[in-house]
Amino acid sequence: MSVPAISTSVGSFYLSRSQCRSSSRGLPRRSLMAIRSGAVSVAPILTNLQKDCATPFPVLRHVADAMATDMRNGLAIDGGSDLKMILSYVDTLPTGNEKGLFYALDLGGTNFRVLRVQLGGKEERVIDTEFEQVSIPQDLMFGTSEQLFDFMASGLAKFSQKEGGKFHLPSGRTREIGFTFSFPVRQLSIDSGILMKWTKGFAVSGTPGKDIVACLNEAMGRLGLEMRVSALVNDAVGTLAGARYWDDDVMVAVILGTGTNACYVERTDAIPKQKGQVSSSGRTIINTEWGAFSSGLPLTVYDNEMDAASINPGEQIFEKTISGMYLGEIVRRVLLKMAQAGDLFGKSVPEKLFSPFILRTPDLCAMQQDNSDDLQSVGSILYNVAGLETNLSARKIVVEVCDTIVKRGGRLAGAGIVGILQKMEEDSKGLIFGKRTVVAMDGGLYENYPQYRKYLQEAVTELLGTEISRNVVIEHSKDGSGIGAALLAAANSKYPHDI
């Protein structure tokens, strides 16, 4: 998602008399009547939408409390709540003492990234980094496991051959790699995990039910590439590790992009389902898989219809309410209802508007950045993307719809963050809210959508109060998951850190 981050004020639903006059110049009287009747005919739809999407304090409070409760239930027993609360087996976090050359491979969608980092310990920290991004051919997304992993291993091999300059491996060592794999995995240890299912448009045969680290190691072996995976993580865990390398106060990481997830640092004695497994540090990172949360969310008929038409109905409800993949689709469904209910967008409904997911979240963001008097960018986007011919009145209503959906998403995400912090605070008795605590954020939605960020922060402040919220720092950690995986490879290296 890439859109300019420019602040804006969202136009109100009703037009002033001067705005009506300026927008109506040159229009015949019959057109003026159509504009006004169109706005009136959709007014109840907008009013009901704003009512159903409202997130007043009691709703936010319920969501935060329910998130904390679901976290506890998920830690008590597998299947205890909507939240899977997956053990990451990351018991050793980067300290800054790490030295040496480490690699990362980050597979999260239709591209994968390869990265290397030279670490210099406490004094020099990160000496240098390099990375490359490789597009995955469409046919490999539907091919065999061997084909996909051979392709990634080949990209990694080509990248490693360019190693030089400040990058050097001490003699007698094997290159170690952190593998960021952002698909559902049942983690078995820090360096092994079973793929549960492919998502994000992948349908690779022969991988579900297999250890994905073994798949990568075998592919590297077939190429004669001497590397070993020393850490398997998802993007949220990688982001937390990458941010914590620079700041010991980082306790939570949240991904808000196409999809969403959150993880946090948990005490091992607060995980009943761990069944006696020992961590040398007394803590570990828990992957909440919070996209599956569903308790007390303010949902609309548009959410329910979108969910029913999805490939996973009844699942990932929180993700479908707050993440970038779905915000545009919810708005499209509202606009389709408006187009069918009145003549706000003309006498006929454009064929394009019936196409699911044609309106994307970057389109919403671009429309909300339009500060012009006539909302020309809004009109252009609606015409080019959805085939909608609009006047100023219609454009203002569309911006109101965008703001309503985005405001709900941002505020619910903020309530979810407070729920995680609240659970940690209840267990630690003052060690979270009583001192500086950092939440590391990554993902294109959070990075590029200023209104979403604002609504998220406002909800956190509203729930925690001004004084406590001063101690909670919500900080962007750009591209943290890749370097985080390399740092976790270093932290879990089989070699000592003093070389």
- pLDDT value of position 39: 61
- pLDDT value of position 40: 61
pLDDT tens digits, one per residue of 428-479 = 877 899 999 999 999 999 999 999 999 999 999 999 999 999 999 999 997 7
Domains of the chain in start order, with CATH, are 43-49+56-85+246-479 (3.40.367.20), 89-233 (3.30.420.40)
Cα of first residue to Cα of last residue in the chain, in angstroms, is 41
Catalytic residue IDs: 200, 235
- pLDDT value of position 32: 35
Confidence label for 20 from pLDDT (cuts 50, 70 and 90): very low
pLDDT tens digits, one per residue of 254-291 = 999 988 999 999 999 899 998 766 667 789 999 999 99
**Percent of the chain residues past pLDDT 70, beyond the cut:** 91
- pLDDT value of position 145: 96
- pLDDT value of position 24: 33
